[in-house]
Structure 1
Amino acid sequence: MSFNMNDDQEVITNLVELERFLLSVEMGTLGLEGVAGVGMATNNSDGRHFVAVFDEQQKLLLARWISVEVFETGKDLVRYGTRLKH
């Protein structure tokens, strides 16, 4: 994984930041190879939420912490993709 989940400075705190992250994944600007999906989840040990990028074997390629608000309001954006098309 190319991201340290302990880095609290990387928290996505609003939908604009989430959309920017998803567009970066969709457009390939993050340099990830074999992206097959994106999802939201909750860390079992501390209850914090994150958005994650997976490959076809469901291996975690990249993750970013997200705020509770983004977790609650950004589900459709993650599920259906960004409004902007490249």
Structure 2
Amino acid sequence: MIDDNDVIETLEELETFLILVEKGGLGLNNAAGVALATNNSNGRPFVAVLDDQHQLVLGRWVTQEVFDNGKDLVRNGPKKSH
């Protein structure tokens, strides 16, 4: 499920999103991981929240800049205090 109207445009927004996922603030059940990916049909980049079976639980579109520069943030997790 990806909301076309909700695009993450900055690394700060990406970090906030990751913190919300980590804290359970989005009400997601069985969220096990986060990854940056591209849509197979159109190549559009997004951040994906995955369950323990690697199925998409939630997705948010990201700008190309966030996709290119946010990989370490997704890989290593947010640095802000929780």
State the TM-score, normalizing by the size of structure 1.
Answer: 0.89
Q: Higher strand proportion, which one?
A: 2
| Equivalent residues of 2:30, 2:51 under 8 A apart | yes
Instruction: Specify the SS of the correspondent of 2:8.
Output: coil
Please list every run of 5 or more consecutive structure 2 residues that lacks an aligned counterpart in the other structure: none
State whether structure 2 residue 68 is matched by structure 1 residue 53.
Answer: no
Secondary structure of the equivalent of 1:71? helix
Query: Cα deviations across residues 25-72 of structure 1 (Å, max 9, x unaligned)?
Result: 001000011111000001111110000001101111100000000000
Pick closer, same or farther for the CA change 1:16–1:61 going to 2, 3 Å. same
Q: How does 1:5-84 map to 2 (within 5 A)?
A: 5=2, 7=4, 9-84=5-80
Amino acid of the structure 2 residue aligned with 1:76: D
Percentage of matched positions with identical amino acids:
56
Secondary structure in structure 2 of the residue aligned to 1:52: strand
The runs of at least 4 consecutive aligned structure 1 residues that moved more than 3 Å come to none
Q: Is the 8 A contact 2:31 2:52 kept in 1?
A: yes
Q: Which runs of 5+ in 1 are unaligned?
A: none
